[in-house]
Amino acid sequence: MTHDSQLNGSVIAGGAGFIGPTLVGRLLDEGRHVFVFDNFTRGKAAYLDKYAGSGRLTIRRTELASRNDCESALASAAAICNVDEVWHLAANSDIPAGIEDPDIDFTSTFQTTFELLRAMQPLGIRDFHFASSSAVYGDFGSQTLHEGLGPLFPISNYGAMKLASEAQASAAAERFLRRLNIFRFPNVVGIPATHGVILDFIHKLAATPDELHVLGDGSQQKSYLHVSDLVAAMLVIRARERSSKTELVNIGASDAGVTVKWIAEQVVLRVNPSARIVFGSGSKGWIGDVPRFSYSSEKMHSYGWAPAMGSEAAVLRAIDEIARQESI
Amino acid sequence: MTHDSQLNGSVIAGGAGFIGPTLVGRLLDEGRHVFVFDNFTRGKAAYLDKYAGSGRLTIRRTELASRNDCESALASAAAICNVDEVWHLAANSDIPAGIEDPDIDFTSTFQTTFELLRAMQPLGIRDFHFASSSAVYGDFGSQTLHEGLGPLFPISNYGAMKLASEAQASAAAERFLRRLNIFRFPNVVGIPATHGVILDFIHKLAATPDELHVLGDGSQQKSYLHVSDLVAAMLVIRARERSSKTELVNIGASDAGVTVKWIAEQVVLRVNPSARIVFGSGSKGWIGDVPRFSYSSEKMHSYGWAPAMGSEAAVLRAIDEIARQESI
């Protein structure tokens, strides 16, 4: 294939996972060529099947934490068209596993960031959109989590390596990036679901239809955002004119959220209304979990963005979508 | 050597560099066995010669970023006595080199932290004292740098990997540490000088005695702390009773600092009063340098600590010490 300098290209690292497919659709709609690099740990090429007809989607199995693999993937994209941005969605998505073995987040959550940034510079790819996480905040108790908080003490290796990635991207912005957008993701729900509390509950109910065992006492309360609202928010930030090179925003629902107990009840209602819910004890589901937090989206709101769905609506829609995905 | 469970031991990672020797002396005074693990990139075993007679100092060449080397070094210490703390001073100390090649800070500044923490857990070593840096803040313009600032956008890979290290240590605190102390170091001066503006000026004057070339216009203004005050501050934090597992403090002089121009003038006065000073242009000496900042030590002061020397006194004493070190 010869190089098409009139065609703009976007790389989506980890683009075959949960968030990627929605973003792929939006970027293809812009007329871009989209390159999805994914190691398919959780992601699946099948999630992108519906875009196969576009002729502008390239999917490549890539270990982004591997220097050679990462460099050659980015170079192969730059050989095809004018690649001007990288969306970095690749990360470990099993937080408890990462707490047992810190190597997991070191490699999958941080080294992927490090190698992507390192490979971008010589290719002149200068816009970086990074999927950070509310997990960078750690446990601030009942304090509302806003972007200006500090110092940050993440309580999981996942949160630590997301914060490390923010920091490395920030240094790269001083060095060569034109634009750096850091999105601190909330709890996101929707399809294709690869992990998370809703999928977990549906799997458990499929295995034992009469009983749903919940880790912890169910009092954990969090806000949830639907993936369609999340992707819309990122595109708002990307399109927004501004004077600063770096932008960092929380993206989230502005409500107080819902409890795990409420989610369990809604899943049971949808899947098997006669099932009994059995709770564990303690307000934390596992080490590294934050029992309750409220997440400030004031900054995003000041930019004119608001989610179409609050936490309840997002979770209810996701339960229905995931139940269908699992053929229930 | 048989294990002495009555003897407490301290590991000092990177202990043969600039800060380590002063700390070694203080910990030996406490009656501890001190283990210095250093790869001698900048450090020198000779800096520790004066403590050789103690019988409680072990020095070992160690690549802390290497898993095997780090694990076996820590295990060798734990075999000798009750090692209950690690002081982590190891890092790349050439910030401009780290900006040219991000691998340097990835390995020397971050991976050392990662491997130390990983190796501590199975050995039951649960106190971690970490030398972080004011470089984690990045460029906040004229705003005073206090611990509560956020979000942080470090502008050097060094600052990024120090922030990454804070984050990883924080996750380790949730997992297994008893105590985590994070010290955000200011510009520190004193001996043995291995790098820094004073040593640089003295070396330049030794090479061309009649002229001192200064990077930038000399207007960069920073506060400086003498290494003896720095070590005293760390020991204050270590001794202080508190309810929280994690403590993070700026350590610094509370004055507005001195300019590079003033330092150049003082070095010339001490070394060769007839030398001419030639300034470059621009307020930054190199990419990643922060031209001017004021550093809040209010938190340390609220704990009853104050440096014996302000910036001027610290720099003047260090100029004299370093000139003697360089036999001038």
* A212/A208 Cα distance (integer angstroms): 7
* B46 part of contact set with chain A, CB < 8 Å: no
Question: How many beta-carbon pairs below 8 A join chains A and B?
Answer: 119
CB–CB of A102 and B110 under 8 A? no
pLDDT band at A254 (very low <50, low <70, confident <90, very high): confident
Q: Average pLDDT of chain A? A: 94
State the pLDDT at residue B59.
Answer: 98
Contact yes or no for A241/A231 (Cβ under 8 A): no
Contact yes or no for B189/B163 (Cβ under 8 A): no
* B11/A1 Cα distance (integer angstroms): 57
* A168 part of contact set with chain B, CB < 8 Å: yes
* B170/A135 Cα distance (integer angstroms): 12
Cα dist from A257 to A30, A201, A254, A296, whole Å: 33, 18, 8, 12
This model of the complex carries an ipTM of 0.93
Contact yes or no for B130/B182 (Cβ under 8 A): yes
Q: Which of A153, A248, A287, A299 to mutate to test the interface with B (most CBs of B within 10 A)?
A: A153
How many Å lie between the alpha carbon of A196 and the closest alpha carbon of chain B? 21
B171-216 tens-digit pLDDT: 999 999 999 999 999 899 999 998 899 999 999 999 999 999 998 8
pLDDT in tens, chain B (328 residues): 689 999 999 999 999 999 999 999 999 999 999 999 999 999 999 999 999 999 999 999 999 999 999 999 999 999 999 999 999 999 998 888 998 999 999 999 999 999 999 999 999 999 999 999 999 999 998 899 999 999 999 999 999 999 999 999 999 999 999 999 999 998 999 999 988 999 999 999 999 999 999 988 999 888 899 999 999 999 999 999 999 999 999 999 878 899 999 999 999 999 999 999 999 887 665 555 665 668 899 999 999 999 999 999 999 999 999 999 998 8
* B136 part of contact set with chain A, CB < 8 Å: yes
pTM greater than 0.90 (yes/no): yes
Look up residue B271 and give its two tokens. Answer: 């070394």
* Residue in B99, B149, B171 closest to A159 by CB: B171
Residues 208-267 of B with CB under 8 A from A: 246, 248
A112-139 tens-digit pLDDT: 999 999 999 999 999 999 999 999 999 9
DSSP string, B113-167: HHHHHHHHHHHT--EEEEEEEGGGSB--TTSEE-TT--S-B-SSHHHHHHHHHHH
* Residue in B148, B151, B156 closest to A171 by CB: B156
Residues of B whose CB is below 8 A from A248: 151, 153
Burial of B260 (0-12, 13-18, 19+ CB in 10 A): buried
Percentage above 70 pLDDT, chain A: 96
Cα dist from B255 to A21, A250, B186, B307, whole Å: 54, 35, 12, 11
CB–CB of B138 and A170 under 8 A? yes
Q: For chain A, give percent helix, strand, coil, nearest 5.
A: 40, 20, 35
Q: If DSSP codes are grouped into helix, strand and coil, which group holds residue A261?
A: helix
CB–CB of B167 and A147 under 8 A? no
Q: If DSSP codes are grouped into helix, strand and coil, which group holds residue A74?
A: helix
How many Å lie between the alpha carbon of B151 and the closest alpha carbon of chain A? 5
* A45/B53 Cα distance (integer angstroms): 65
